[in-house]
Structure 1
């Protein structure tokens, strides 16, 4: 082993200890890349301190998985490696370019398979057991006995990111007592079960997730920046298909269709920002304007579409009217009328056959098992889909478009 055991100082978990094998994986270039991928993408445009990365989150997941394994008396090191490696496939700004690059979970599997020999040589060094990369992938894909520890409605991923995101964003919404929560957990037959005394901390955890989605993850400005960057790359792709466009080295494989693991691992947050800085001087006026809006935070403005407006949107052909208004004001609606739907179910209720993703609680006398939504009135009201639809348009047209959406035409 080239690497020595590490000790990482963490604001949430105190000290995170890693043995020489975990340290060896952490020291690989493909894991170090996570230092250059922000955990919350463009959220720092709204919350300036949201600069934490997938690197620190991955360490946090590893730590929580280790503590949970101790509590549940599970001796399976593949779980710890799955927790550590579950996010290595994230692209620039986390989920931001997945429409262009592909699903990060698929990239995680491709990266693990690409380096499977190296990974297996590290984790099986001087060990009797033989952990295969396929074991780790089966956990990540939900095909393993312990998959729900990594991905479910109560998993090490959520336990870390809710606390980590709320800490670095600077809000109180995402906080809950993780130590109390871990103390009340049991694991049986592929499902997480909670002691009756843990009801209130589970309510706190589910509420934390609900509030973080409403106040942070669904924030209209953050969502708007993502849509703006998608529009930038959409325009760039359009230009590329017709003529030449200035591309930095790390972006070439995205546009020429030759994106493989080697090229993918070159990409990080700085790749996107550097490319946009290059395109701000593009001859194409639309591409240049969109890039300047991103760099200078002169963003498109949001308009929420409520239930009544949604009805008008469909029945009264408001969308075409907005397109016409934008065109008459010199904006191509293909790039300046951006639609977004943010949706989430705070807690998904139990359905037969989905035991691994549900949370169960034993009765006070320990004779019966109930779903958490049966026991908690708080959680039972959070089992419905929460969604908001927005459009983003240039600020100069906002008042006219707001009037149109409400069914009143204004002629000037």
Structure 2
């Protein structure tokens, strides 16, 4: 497998890793492709910048960051743990390039606004990533020049079917280059401290073993800190109720736009200005790979700007709320208070809002850490440590802190509604409804620090 080195390495300045070192021609060529440059136009955290205004970083930055971590790890393995004999469990240096490329391209299939887009249009970024790698793209052309089967090898790493478990675990596991980079990067750009951890210590304690990757026992506390940092980032940043309130608006306005488009089709009304050629394949559910790659955050923001002046009052209002940062308000729900949701929804409707577009049940879920369970739907690769006697032990058996959160999902269930419901506006019916709404919130103990009434 030819691995042409650059005569002189290229470097990209990076606020997290200082420098991104590009040493291989194929990596530089991949970065310069149309498909990879598209990631500059997709924010890493979607619309989280509506809450943390510094969170304007892109999938491009994260992807080259994940690559840099993979480069550092493979260089370290090649220097200190190169394989000497077949099946000795050490690092096979021929796996370097496939690891670097998979790390670089692991998010190349992400759609606009990331997970909000996926939820509404039933797309899967990992599937699109594999399609971009193996399909008729610039990326595939470059990978095929390495070897005819190289694109399929890289795609199999993304699909977690690659033959070398060490490579898979470096790219996708409970402690991989993807998670390590996005935690540090998201913490930096959101201005929070929750995601910070000692990455240098973690990288220096990583060890290749027969079934994947393990860590030297001396790095236990650094890894423990990483797990706790990830747990806190989800609770404090990724689950933030205001950010989710903006996501609900985005999802509802796109849903309304699609419904209006379908109505226009039934009535044989063509409105190209409303949808336009870039969104039409998406709304027609005839999206080709080429159509998908034409979509990014900027495309959707342009149409949302147009739609704020649309004659449909619901679409126009939802777009104005989204563009002017007027998110839906929320209250915490649990198993005891979920029955109240129907009554709250009726109050919203009584006040004149269509509950389909102005209410939502939004549940945020994450499992911060779990050990390997072969019976689960998606078994997790556990974090193992090498002890002095050569045996292995799983992280939660060594850390009481991690043991306390192991297998315990973080779930934040919320009911979203118009903030206007809590205000008086001179209209007797609306004011009466607002009073009832506030009463329901108080009487059913639905208040939380993010919901003031």
Q: Is residue 407 of structure 2 the alignment partner of residue 403 of structure 1?
A: no
Alignment correspondent of 2:86: none
Q: Which whole-Å CA distance do the structure 1 matches of 2:380 and 2:348 have between them?
A: 49
* TM-score (structure 1 length as normaliser): 0.91
Corresponding residue for residue 232 of structure 2: 211
Match of 1:50 in 2: 55
Q: Please list, as runs of the form range in 1=range in 2, the aligned pairs for 1:352-363 lying within 5 A after superposition.
A: 352=374, 357-363=381-387
Moved over 6 A (4+): 353-356
- When residues 80 and 302 of structure 1 are mapped into structure 2, their CA distance, relative to the original with a 3 A threshold, is same
Counterpart contact for 1:191–1:358, Cα < 8 Å: no
* Structure 2 match to 1:135: 153
What CA distance in whole angstroms lies between the structure 2 residues aligned with 1:366 and 1:382? 28
Q: Is the 8 A contact 1:224 1:302 kept in 2?
A: yes
Displacement of 1:148: 1.3
Deviation readout 1:157-202 (Å, 9 max, x if unpaired) = 0111111111111111111111110111112123321111111100
Indicate the SS of the match to 1:381. helix
Matches within 5 A, 1:159-308: 159-243=180-264, 244=269, 246-305=274-333, 307=334
In the other structure, the counterpart of 1:332 is 354
Distance 1:320 1:180 in 2: 51
CA distance in 1 between partners of 2:371 and 2:21 (Å): 36
CA distance in 2, matches of 1:351, 1:292: 47
Q: Deviation digits for residues 32-89 of structure 1, max 9, x if unmatched? A: 0000000000111011111110001110111101111122234211111111111111
SS of residue matched to 2:103? helix
Show the counterpart of 1:6.
10
Unaligned runs of 5+ in 1: none
State how 1:27-176 maps to structure 2 within 5 Å: 27-73=32-78, 74=91, 75=93, 76=95, 77-101=97-121, 102-115=123-136, 118-119=138-139, 121-123=141-143, 125=145, 132-144=150-162, 145=164, 146-176=167-197
Deviates more, 1:347-356 or 1:47-56: 347-356
- Which region of structure 1 is more displaced relative to structure 2, 320-329 or 78-87? 320-329
- Deviation of residue 349 (structure 1)? 2.3
Question: d(CA) in 2 for partners of 1:313 and 1:110?
Answer: 41
Check conservation: 2:373, 2:379, Cα contact below 8 A. yes
182-191 vs 38-47, greater mean Cα deviation: 182-191
* 1:1-45 C-alpha deviation (Å, 9 max, x unpaired): 9x9953101111121121322111111111100000000001110
Deviation at 1:124, TM superposition (A): 6.1
Q: Name the SS for the 1:361 alignment partner.
A: strand
Q: Residues of 2 paired with 1:94 and 1:312: CA distance? A: 31
1:34 touches 1:55 (CA, 8 Å); kept in 2?
Answer: yes
Q: Is the 8 A contact 1:148 1:356 kept in 2?
A: no
Number of equivalenced pairs: 397
Change over 3 Å in CA distance of 1:348–1:84 after alignment to 2: same
Root-mean-square deviation over aligned CA pairs: 2.1
Q: Could you state the TM-score of these two structures normalised by the residue count of structure 2?
A: 0.83
Moved more, 296-305 or 158-167: 296-305
Partner residue, 1:346: 368
Question: What SS does the corresponding residue of 1:16 show, helix, strand or coil?
Answer: strand
Is 1:393 aligned to residue 417 of structure 2? yes
2:173 aligned counterpart, secondary structure = coil
- Measured against aligned partners, the alpha-carbon deviations of 1:230-259 in whole angstroms (never above 9, x if no partner) come to 111111111111125511332111111221
- Alignment deviations for residues 356-384 of structure 1 (CA, whole Å, 9 cap, x no partner): 71110122x23421110111111111111
